[in-house]
Amino acid sequence: MNLIDTISKRMAAIGVIGLGYVGLPLIIEFHKQGFSVTGFDIDPEKVRLLNEGKGYIKHIDVSPLFAASATQPRFHATTDFSGLTNMDCILICVPTPLNKYREPDLSYVMKTTETIAQYLKKGQLVILESTTYPGTTDEDMRAVLEKTGFKAGKDFHLAFSPEREDPNNGSFSLRTTPKVVGGYTEGCLAAAKALYDTVVDRTVPVSSPKVAEATKLLENIYRSVNIALVNELKVLFDKMGIDVWEVIEAAKTKPFGFQAFYPGPGLGGHCIPIDPFYLTWKAREYDFVTRFIELAGEINTNMPDYVVSKVAEALNEVGKPVKGTKILMLGLAYKANVDDDRESPSYRLMDKLEEMGAIVSYNDPYIPIVRMTREYAKFAGRKSVEITKGFDMLLIATAHDEYRAVDFLSFGIPVVDTRHIITAKHPLVYRA
């Protein structure tokens, strides 16, 4: 039986490497469709929790994985990667961060690929989902996998299909979001498409992994550039005495030629602040400068500085310096109503304000305690506090629904609002 037939009969064993925001939804969806799924991760705590039926990402319900009969379990998690040899399809969902020089860090992808190579067998399908620059799959990964003596497209299948996760999006799920797929050969594409056809409503086949990799970069660069535009206009309109939020609301009444993007205190999440720089870095190989992308990155990266300047301005209006001021920052997550704090601008705001001598606390109903991060390890262990009086200023950094019910004006202190939570105009409310 060939791989496509094995997939169509739900007899293929699926292995997903990386049990995070991308890997977990895939595992759940393949499991729902009747596949036997194994989750691989280097983090023993994630593996332990999943095997005990417990989740660790607030908006991802892992209970469907354990709904089947306990006598015939179709899911388990493990740190033992030797089990990859028993998989028919292997999906890679590991981080692709930037290093301190804002260059691509493909160490997670390449180390994972080296591990797969140790256990690679004929007929397997290997798919990368992690966002990266064009050429990673069919050049960098293929070179490692072919050191085994196997040839991509002949002995094993190789493909790229970019993740399109949007945490806690109520309108689109993994199943209803079209899946772009690019294979190294036509046979590789057919196998990858057959696999994703079982879990998504629509697959979008493209001519190569490079096209699929570039597709994901275009999607996120498009968002980065447009967010940079409204962030720049926010600063300009503020100087002109114009409310950028009112302008956007009016502009989006046009039924064609305009899509609304909204300003904020900076970019967060694992995609938009990072992915554009993968293409910027790769472009150097072709002696090409991506000026538009880099300008957008510069604008978005500098937004926390603008917010801090508004904090200083607001405090100055009430005769207080930043140094020694007690500030309660509302929201640590990078977007509303999730517990995802990856690349959150809130960390940069805390860091900058504390460097200026402010005493900063935070509140976030979704993140009760700060987790360890690579860049801001010093904040690890800090706990969310209640929204009470006793602070000198409130700084709204995330648009959680819970904050819309708070009467911030009753505190009688300056409020710097970066998310348009407070719609009423008031002398103590500062847009940032």
Is residue 188 among the annotated active site residues? no
Active-site hit among 89, 93, 188, 271:
271
For residue 125, which amino acid is it? Answer: L
> Which residues contact residue 102 at a Cβ distance below 8 angstroms, ignoring those fewer than 6 apart?
277
> Which residues contact residue 220 at a Cβ distance below 8 angstroms, ignoring those fewer than 6 apart?
131, 271, 272, 275, 276
By annotation, the residues acting in catalysis are: 271
